[in-house]
Chain A
């Protein structure tokens, strides 16, 4: 079986993460300000691409281009994206146009076209003129994990380099819905958005290896964590850091040292990609060969995940 490594990583978040060499060195936003720190998209995306692009599309185009540049890969063998909600801004925009339109009158199609969940992966392919495997995974909080599992499978099937991304955008309706559903205040104020893109590859002598990605029933998450580490002859206490995140669940009392990445970048369906990026940077800059880190994601009442990374 081919091993899978992280070649490059780029994230846009509420922290000043874009183009940061080492995310683990990022300082926190002052007073917990939860606004996205966006780059100047004009520096990364052609005006013709930008003019119809939603925030989600802009984040994705800038991050994916930068991740490719940093990896030195011009055209990847696969493009795989995870998104929990897809293009919500365009979906609601077209819905409003469609509902308000009278019988027989025409509706502008732009938002409908962009509302597709695979508009990001498709647009990147179009931009790169890339005719390879193109996939979009949409499974709530585990959208990134399923995209990552697909990317690892593609590498095992023979791909050299896969462009892998995760993105979700926040719209006002989500805040209203959380309030209506009486989400606790501390969860509600963490509703956020962000984007991460990676190039993962099959051949690397050194770097950070993606050892295993495990989907687990939430009730079995901690026992599966023990079992997974044991199968690799590892101990949780030896990990360089355990990065823990929450999607739809309240914070848990955990019996081991850890850092909560969703307290730093907020909660959005694909935020585990940020935790994954954080773990990768921590191992890359502070780890020595053999060191490992975990990303433990409490997603929803039914399913959660564990990602295990190792410095080689």
Chain B
């Protein structure tokens, strides 16, 4: 059963929409800027629009309790869905990957509670849980057969895409909107700070001198359909979702194994599902968070999976920041943009080759024919997912 990608939508620090993100990536622009936080300035990939501006853009009441995560998801989901309409004969679903959910509002409540002993805003906790955020988004979309949330840290959106593709392949569903979202929160910024892997400078993926990541925010969604759904929607096919796999590193709660065992298993299995050889991959959008640990493991896994193959690879995390659960969705959209525009996106801030490998990432925006892209996403808990998209 073919799995067609017929819609893409993205929001990141680079802007709202596929066109804004394409322009920024092609010109090598970063969206990571110094942002004020309660504990001083931090480099973050923030979308430079306040909650109020987002609400007015989305036509929401200013007083409505809608977490930022939900609003970012609404923007990207609606772009991906386009003018596709629900149809009673087409079994349709929505799968969202997220980790922060309504945390931006929850931490506002807890800040008032802990710092000012003010518990009057407790209702803010009603939108805390991830499933509620997904349902809030779905109230605008109107899916009724299947509305689900996955949360597997930084591979959440990639897993949502994989689950949707598996369901289509198995004949369980005809059409699914899949991807993920996370907003910036003090909780996650402090969390990665506490792990001592937050770079106070701009992050440097795959550079020997890298010290850590910068966080970002955003959302990325794909509309995927089977033949029956496509016949009804008449949507244009942008690409195919051809391969997917999830494996576990089973090495450490947060770290990855030096050999990148989970990553390698996911890439190998995804190639198998897509029935492609490593040499067929024209562009690899790596997870490349710029932590010592991730880039080392990932490059080691790439060295093994792509042995003897000089694959073009880059991380776009230096453009967007690490958008956590959304990363797999945003980067899947970037992968499909790579196919559609015939181009490979550059890896910013790279100077020094890593000692552990001979490979270096693509450094300039390069036009070439792209038939197949691979997108990697790895999360805490050893969760490792690899996706493959091919030309329509």
Contact = CB atoms under 8 A, between A and B. Distances in A.
Question: Are the chains A and B members of one assembly?
Answer: yes
Interface of A: 79, 84-86, 91-92, 94-96, 98-104, 106-109, 112-119, 121-123, 125-126, 128-140, 142-143, 146, 150, 153, 156-157, 173, 176-177, 180-181, 215, 217, 300, 302-303
A136 B39 contact: no
Contact of A139 (B99, B131, B379): B131
Contact of B122 (A95, A103, A176, A302): A176
A153 B110 contact: no
B99 to A, nearest CB: 7
Interface stretch (B68-76, B222-230, B247-255, B280-288): B247-255
B382 A108 contact: no
A128 B251 CA distance: 10
Contacts of A112: 190-191, 194-195
A150 B135 CA distance: 19
26 contacts: A94-B191, A95-B187, A101-B39, A103-B39, A103-B40, A109-B191, A109-B194, A112-B191, A113-B253, A113-B380, A115-B191, A118-B153, A119-B253, A121-B152, A123-B381, A129-B250, A130-B248, A134-B246, A135-B246, A138-B129, A139-B147, A140-B131, A142-B131, A153-B172, A157-B170, A177-B122
Nearest to A133: B246
A113 to B, nearest CB: 5
Contact of B248 (A84, A106, A115, A122): A122
A125 B151 contact: no
Given A177-B125, A215-B146, A131 B247 contact: yes
A204 B252 CA distance: 35
A285 B380 CA distance: 41
A121 B381 contact: yes
Interface in B325-379: 379
What DSSP secondary structure best describes chain B's contact surface? Answer: mixed
B111 interface: yes
A133 B382 contact: no
B378 to A, nearest CB: 12
A161 to B, nearest CB: 16
Contacts of B144: 217
Contacts of A157: 166, 170
B24 interface: no
A96 B109 CA distance: 11
B22 interface: no
Contact of A136 (B152, B167, B382): B152
Contacts, number: 178
B146 A134 contact: no
Interface string B123-151: 10110011110110000000011111111
B250 A131 contact: yes
A67 to B, nearest CB: 18
A302 B381 contact: no
A84 B194 CA distance: 26
Contacts of A106: 194
B106 A95 contact: yes
Contacts of B129: 84-85, 138, 140
B253 A122 contact: yes
Contact of B147 (A102, A117, A303): A303
Contacts of B147: 139, 215, 302-303
Interface in B214-263: 246-254, 261-262
Contact of A99 (B115, B132, B383): B115
Contacts of B170: 153, 156-157
Contact of A94 (B119, B187, B247, B382): B187
A126 B110 contact: no
B163 interface: yes
B40 A122 contact: no
Interface of B: 38-40, 99, 106-107, 110-111, 114-115, 119, 122-123, 125-126, 129-132, 134-135, 144-153, 159, 163, 166-167, 170, 172, 186-187, 190-191, 193-195, 246-254, 261-262, 265, 379-383
Contacts of B115: 99-100
Contacts of B163: 135, 150
A95 to B, nearest CB: 5
Contact of B149 (A96, A102, A119, A138): A138
A79 B190 CA distance: 30
Contacts of B148: 137, 139, 142, 146
Contacts of A132: 247-248
B158 to A, nearest CB: 12
B262 A131 contact: yes
B131 A84 contact: yes
Q: Which 3 pairs from chain A and chain B are nearest by CB?
A: A122-B381, A117-B151, A140-B131
A109 B195 contact: yes
A84 B149 CA distance: 10
Contacts of A135: 150, 152, 159, 163, 246
A119 B381 contact: yes
Contact of A122 (B246, B265, B380): B380
A99 B132 CA distance: 24
A272 to B, nearest CB: 14
B253 A131 contact: no
A123 B253 contact: yes
The CB with the most chain B CB atoms within 10 A, among A95, A114, A156, A300, is that of A95
Given A117-B130, A134-B152, A153-B167, A98 B187 contact: yes
Contacts of B251: 126
Given A98-B190, A118-B380, A138 B110 contact: no
Contacts of A134: 152, 246-248, 381-383
A310 to B, nearest CB: 20
Contacts of B191: 94, 98, 109, 112, 115
B111 A99 contact: yes
